[in-house]
Chains A and B, each alone.
Chain A
Amino acid sequence: MRAEGDCLLEVNGVTLQYKTARHLVTATFNVDFNVREGDRYVILGPSGCGKSTLLKAVGGFMAPVEGSVRIRGRDVREPGPDRMMVFQEFEQLMPWKTVEQNVLFPMKVTHKFPRKEARQRALSAIDKVKLTPFRDIYPHMLSGGMKMRVAIARAMALEPDILLMDEPFAALDALTRRAMQQELLALWNQLRFTMLFVTHSIEEAMIVGSRILILTPHPGRVRAELDTSMFDFSNLDAPEFGAMAKRIHGLLLDDDAKVPA
């Protein structure tokens, strides 16, 4: 039986490189971190720190040049439904399927649940993200926030070992974004899934995350790992929140931090 706190994902000395037409780019260098069961683990860093690339490596979309990615002790070699990914873009939903069919699709192709149970799970996942009235609607009729909720419902209905979220709220407007963060936290409180969440927003990292890994850019290297499990929407105005945000800001932008205000 797995329990909260057990080690779920081990990333050991991972160096990632990819090729563009002209260059060989090193995205991350020798990155280590561990994610435990029930963590809301956030990878935070400026653009160019390889955080999305790191997430792709965990997803199995690219292999590390050096180091290893292990999930529950197994080496990650290729993409699989045990690591469901939620992308930043809205076009991750299948436009030819209704909301319900979209949520049902992963369970159907992976045969993880019997047919009847799969449908029950899909309906309950849609209900949890409050989209029941839109079950039979095609994605093009939904707003950005609603599409994102479908993507999250789809990923969670499959009950993956870990939910990989690549700046899932970055393309949303500020109000929707805030509402989505709240909903995600509410869902986590209910279901206690494990997630690995990539963002470049300090505030989002502190609210959504229980643990934050801070990367430096060019190439991405580990700068710090912080515990932010005590922060949520209730203490946004607390002095500790501001202090932590300032500390993270300093870690992200070393040079700027030394300049007196």
Chain B
Amino acid sequence: MSTQRPEFERSPIDASGIGDIERPLPLAERILRNDAVQRAAIIVLLIVIWEAYARWLNYALLFPTFTDTIRVAWEDKGELAMRVAATMRALVIGYAAGLACAAVLTTLAVASEFGARFLSTLTAMFNPLPAIALLPLALIWFGLGTPSLVFVIVHSVLWAVALNTLTGFRAVPETLRMSGRNLGLRGVRYVVLILIPAAFPSILAGLKIGWAFAWRTLIAAELVFGASSRSGGLGWYIFAARSELDTARVFAGLLAVIVIGLLVEAVIFRAIEARTVKLWGMQR
């Protein structure tokens, strides 16, 4: 059974009583929700666990405490800084060279179907090949020293970056491509002005993976080289400390590796993300 319902019209009720429609959250809540604060809390928690476990174990040769590790690192700060500088120099050269190679290969891959097949075949062949496996070859070709390190870093950066960039280029929406071509953009200008920014989320992911590959390859390569290289980097520092059974120094070296990794990720890559893909709404 249905009854007739009356129609009505009215002016909207007064909503001024609820105050501002958009108001800031309380300070405490904003601090607790802050990403950096939460991350710092996680790191502090891990350090507390480390310190507590090491104290309970009480066996410095196996597992030195956090405080011991920091003390040793402080004592060695001059040497550590030098080692880090040596490592970073090789890394920056290798990373830059790897990116340059990736840029050339992906540009060729965008320019022609043959280039794309060439790149994907190369990537399929070399991407799974561990960079460390190339180290003996690098030693034969370039001898001990930075050129060998650069060679393995290029190998570990190149394929990850090239693969991600190409995948990103392929995912650029057709409409965006057409609106670029509509303006008569071609060749390098088309790649630089349209494809690279449009594919930036993938490119950035490639850069991050490439960085992680490069960093671990580099430290591992330095460990292998270590015994004979005077001007070795962080890997050599760790290796040398191990041969003296100086576990706190091994820890100090590892801590430096981790801290640098964390800084690059949390400071550099985060800053790039915040200014690009997050700002542009391409990534949440």
Contact of A87 among B175, B194, B197 (CB under 8 A): B175
Q: Smallest distance from the beta carbon of A195 to chain B beta carbons, Å?
A: 15
15 A-B residue pairings within 8 Å (CB atoms): A59-B178, A79-B178, A81-B182, A87-B175, A87-B178, A89-B175, A91-B175, A92-B178, A92-B179, A94-B176, A94-B198, A95-B281, A96-B197, A96-B198, A110-B183
Residue of B nearest to A78 (CB): B184
In the complex, the answer to whether B197 meets A94 with C-beta atoms within 8 Å is yes
Q: Does B242 contact A (CB under 8 A)?
A: no
Q: Does B173 contact A (CB under 8 A)?
A: yes
Interchain CA distance A96-B183 in the complex, whole Å: 17
In the complex, the answer to whether B280 meets A85 with C-beta atoms within 8 Å is no
Residue of A nearest to B184 (CB): A80
Task: Tell me the A5-25 residues at the B interface (CB within 8 Å).
Answer: none
In the complex, the answer to whether A96 meets B280 with C-beta atoms within 8 Å is yes
**Contacts A89-B175, A95-B281, A141-B281 known; A81 to B200 CB distance under 8 Å?**
no
Q: Smallest distance from the beta carbon of A78 to chain B beta carbons, Å?
A: 8
Task: Tell me the A48-79 residues at the B interface (CB within 8 Å).
Answer: 59, 61, 78-79
**Residues of chain A at the chain B interface (Cβ within 8 Å):** 59, 61, 78-81, 83-85, 87, 89, 91-92, 94-96, 105-106, 109-110, 138-141
Interchain CA distance A96-B275 in the complex, whole Å: 10
Q: Smallest distance from the beta carbon of B62 to chain A beta carbons, Å?
A: 51
In the complex, the answer to whether B178 meets A140 with C-beta atoms within 8 Å is no
Contacts of A91 in B (CB 8 A): 173, 175-176
In the complex, the answer to whether A109 meets B179 with C-beta atoms within 8 Å is no
Contacts of A79 in B (CB 8 A): 178, 181-184
Q: Does B185 contact A (CB under 8 A)?
A: yes
Q: Does B189 contact A (CB under 8 A)?
A: yes
Interchain CA distance A109-B192 in the complex, whole Å: 12
In the complex, the answer to whether A61 meets B181 with C-beta atoms within 8 Å is yes
Interchain CA distance A204-B35 in the complex, whole Å: 49
Q: Does B260 contact A (CB under 8 A)?
A: no
**Contacts A85-B178, A87-B178, A96-B200 known; A138 to B279 CB distance under 8 Å?**
yes
Interface residues of B, dominant DSSP: helix
Q: Smallest distance from the beta carbon of A162 to chain B beta carbons, Å?
A: 12
Contacts of B198 in A (CB 8 A): 94-96
- Chain B residues touching A, range: 20 to 34
Q: Smallest distance from the beta carbon of A95 to chain B beta carbons, Å?
A: 5
Contacts of A141 in B (CB 8 A): 281
Interchain CA distance A59-B181 in the complex, whole Å: 10
In the complex, the answer to whether A140 meets B182 with C-beta atoms within 8 Å is no
Residue of B nearest to A61 (CB): B178
In the complex, the answer to whether A109 meets B185 with C-beta atoms within 8 Å is yes
**Contacts A87-B179, A109-B193 known; A138 to B184 CB distance under 8 Å?**
no
Q: Which among A78, A83, A87, A96 has the highest number of chain B CB atoms within 10 Å? A: A96
In the complex, the answer to whether A84 meets B185 with C-beta atoms within 8 Å is no
Q: Does B282 contact A (CB under 8 A)?
A: yes
Q: Smallest distance from the beta carbon of A97 to chain B beta carbons, Å?
A: 8
Q: Smallest distance from the beta carbon of A62 to chain B beta carbons, Å?
A: 11
Contacts A94-B198, A140-B281 supplied; 11 other A-B pairs, CB < 8 Å? A59-B182, A79-B181, A87-B175, A91-B175, A91-B176, A92-B179, A94-B176, A95-B198, A138-B279, A138-B281, A140-B280
In the complex, the answer to whether B281 meets A92 with C-beta atoms within 8 Å is no
Interchain CA distance A91-B171 in the complex, whole Å: 13
In the complex, the answer to whether B184 meets A81 with C-beta atoms within 8 Å is yes
Contacts of B185 in A (CB 8 A): 109
Cβ contacts B191-203/A at 8 Å (1 or 0 each): 0011001101000
Interchain CA distance A92-B182 in the complex, whole Å: 11
Contact of B280 among A78, A89, A95 (CB under 8 A): A95
Residue of A nearest to B282 (CB): A95
Contacts of B276 in A (CB 8 A): 96
Q: Smallest distance from the beta carbon of B279 to chain A beta carbons, Å?
A: 6
Interchain CA distance A152-B189 in the complex, whole Å: 24
Interchain CA distance A92-B183 in the complex, whole Å: 12
Residue of A nearest to B178 (CB): A61
Residue of A nearest to B172 (CB): A91
Q: Smallest distance from the beta carbon of A61 to chain B beta carbons, Å?
A: 6
Contacts of B184 in A (CB 8 A): 78-81, 109-110
In the complex, the answer to whether A138 meets B280 with C-beta atoms within 8 Å is yes
Contacts of B194 in A (CB 8 A): 94
Q: Smallest distance from the beta carbon of A57 to chain B beta carbons, Å?
A: 13
Contacts of B183 in A (CB 8 A): 79, 81, 105-106, 109-110
* Interface pairs A-B: 9 shortest CB-CB: A140-B281, A96-B197, A89-B175, A95-B280, A79-B181, A92-B179, A96-B280, A91-B173, A92-B175
Interchain CA distance A139-B175 in the complex, whole Å: 15
Residue of B nearest to A95 (CB): B280
Interchain CA distance A87-B281 in the complex, whole Å: 21
Interchain CA distance A78-B183 in the complex, whole Å: 10
Interchain CA distance A89-B179 in the complex, whole Å: 11
